[in-house]
Structure 1
Amino acid sequence: MRSPNTIRTAFIGAMAVVVCSVLPVHAQVDVDLELVLAVDVSGSMDSGEAELQRNGYVDAFRHPDVIRAIETGLHGRIAVSYVEWAGTQHQALVVPWRIVADADSADVFARDINRLPIRRHFGTSISSALEFAAAQFAQSGARGFRRAIDVSGDGPNNMGAPVVEARDALVRKGIAINGLPVMIREGIAAGRARIPNLDVYFEDCVIGGPGAFIVPVRDRDGFGQAIRRKLVLEIAGLPPRVMQVAESAAGSRIDCLIGEKNRGNWILNDP
């Protein structure tokens, strides 16, 4: 007769075989889209803009149009995470990866965003934000038909690596970068960190990859609608449009180093 310890060991071994056959070690969830929301929390975003931005994402994930776009995909679900960024010293994954497949799971993600305090940090490094956001895909636990970074910003890159270099590296990996340029304030009220043609800057220097696009925010009332529209377009997927890897080639409409050059002037001219 076998001892109780021998029986127990055999039982545990058998159960281990069953569990391993049901749950692959590296199982991943198939999704239509892996999406990183990279949200600008730099000091040039005033508290009102920062609140509008956060509330825009909260409201968008509770809106029927966004939920419908998710549910009507091939797999009917997406993987999404929420990153806050500013200068080279601040990039943070503040809402980790979630699988969103319906109104309930979308509401959970919205509540996670809504719990976040309004934060602002020094500097604007879009290049650092893109590099940090791209690194998050390895932790998504999902296998997406598409991978995209949704980056908002109210000014050009002014520290860290040149944004074009970061963009090109991500596009070569098959990651699409879409943009939400925030263009609410103009003239003196815009501050030194902003430029009047930020939409052109985002088009020529920041976005890239198949189907890449921007949705500018030009007034406070349109902030929420712009976020919702951009999410619907990203989730639904635009017809692939191959963009040039180097949009800053000859004939570009804007200097992609304008932020770095302007910042250098501020440092030289400040007492």
Structure 2
Amino acid sequence: MPSRRALNLIAAGAAGIAMSLSSILPPGAVAEGVEVDLALILAIDCSFSVDQREFALQMQGLGLAFRREEVKRAIAQGSRGRIAVTAVQWSDDQNQAVVLPWTVVSGGTESDALGQHLANLPRQLAEGGTSIAAALTFSAALFEGAPAAERRVVDVSTDGRNNSGPRVAPVRDALMAQGITINALTILNEWPTLNIYAENNVIGGAGSFAMPANDYEAYGEAIFRKLLREITGPGIS
């Protein structure tokens, strides 16, 4: 269960961000009582190793990915034709925050609006160590407020190994037991073998995978390919 502090962050973040989204996303975009093909959590690394330029490259990459036609088509071609997305910024075991509430996207203009919003999101979290384990625990609790979904996926991006809070592997196993898939985008600028670490300790669940990016400049293309694979579903490369 998330801590009282975590629940307060969720409530405060969702309330404030939902107001800003109301002027950007189409009416009815915020998720309420709908079914989707995929409930996707974007877990964005804001640890000490991520400077402001690198953070901006992450957000710009995410924003551009949702505006690409291939991603829009993948969303629209699902059996329900829509997905739900939320975003979390995280660093150490004391710092996680929701920066985008659950939002339903059906491709087209909704995907464009979501991409624009993500690209312009500021860094809202204090820097700290790297607690992938805490980010996963925090993210898993958010599925309680998600729309009913055929698949539930945590998409975690990181350039480091877990160095704060509990060990990752037991947390990964707990999420897998709940039917949650964990995928990783590993940025290899500091740890050239980080993708192997993620494969052994972080990812898990049906169709899970680790997608490497050599550096932050390569993040945009990597997150595009990762999102396309996640939206389309297991078995797609």
| TM-score with structure 2 setting the length | 0.82
| CA-CA distance at 1:76 after TM superposition | 0.5
2:40 is equivalent to residue 35 of structure 1: yes
Q: Amino acid of the residue matched to residue 72 of structure 1? A: Q
Q: Does the 8 A contact of 2:187 with 2:216 survive in 1?
A: no
Query: 2:44, 2:217 → 1: CA distance?
Result: 19
Q: Amino acid of the residue matched to residue 185 of structure 2? A: L
Q: Does the 8 A contact of 2:88 with 2:99 survive in 1?
A: yes
Matching residue of 1:248: none
Query: 1:31, 1:218 → 2: CA distance?
Result: 33
Query: 1:82, 1:118 → 2: CA distance?
Result: 12
Match of 2:229 among 233, 256, 260: 233
Matching residue of 2:199: 203
Query: 1:209, 1:179 → 2: CA distance?
Result: 12
| CA-CA distance at 1:49 after TM superposition | 1.6
Identity %: 45
Q: Does the 8 A contact of 1:95 with 1:112 survive in 2?
A: no
2:109 is equivalent to residue 104 of structure 1: yes
Q: Does the 8 A contact of 1:57 with 1:224 survive in 2?
A: yes
Q: Amino acid of the residue matched to residue 138 of structure 1? A: E
Query: 1:150, 1:71 → 2: CA distance?
Result: 20
Match of 2:93 among 84, 88, 93: 88
Q: Amino acid of the residue matched to residue 54 of structure 1? A: M
Q: Does the 8 A contact of 2:96 with 2:135 survive in 1?
A: yes
2:121 is equivalent to residue 116 of structure 1: yes
Match of 2:145 among 125, 139, 142: 139
SS in 2 for 1:33: strand
2:219 is equivalent to residue 214 of structure 1: no
Query: 1:220, 1:84 → 2: CA distance?
Result: 17
Gaps of 5+ in 1: 1-26, 185-189, 241-271
Query: 1:81, 1:87 → 2: CA distance?
Result: 20
SS in 2 for 1:151: strand
Alignment RMSD, CA only? 1.5
Q: Amino acid of the residue matched to residue 180 of structure 1? A: L
For residues 144-163 of structure 1, the aligned pairs below 5 Å read: 144-163=149-168
For residues 55-70 of structure 1, the aligned pairs below 5 Å read: 55-70=60-75
**Displaced runs of 4+ in structure 1, greater than 3 A?**
none
| CA-CA distance at 1:28 after TM superposition | 2.6
Larger Rg: 1
Structure 1, residues 224-263: CA drift from partner, whole Å, max 9, x if none? 11000000000000139xxxxxxxxxxxxxxxxxxxxxxx
Structure 1, residues 130-167: CA drift from partner, whole Å, max 9, x if none? 00001111112x11100000001111100111101110
Q: Does the 8 A contact of 1:91 with 1:129 survive in 2?
A: yes
SS in 2 for 1:215: strand
2:129 is equivalent to residue 129 of structure 1: no
Match of 2:57 among 45, 52, 63: 52
Structure 1, residues 30-56: CA drift from partner, whole Å, max 9, x if none? 110000000101110122221111100
Q: Taking CA–CA contacts closer than 8 Å with sequence separation of 6 or more, which of the two structures ends up with the larger relative contact order? A: 2
Structure 1, residues 194-214: CA drift from partner, whole Å, max 9, x if none? x33111000000000000001
Query: 1:168, 1:76 → 2: CA distance?
Result: 30
Q: Does the 8 A contact of 2:176 with 2:204 survive in 1?
A: yes
Q: Amino acid of the residue matched to residue 161 of structure 1? A: P
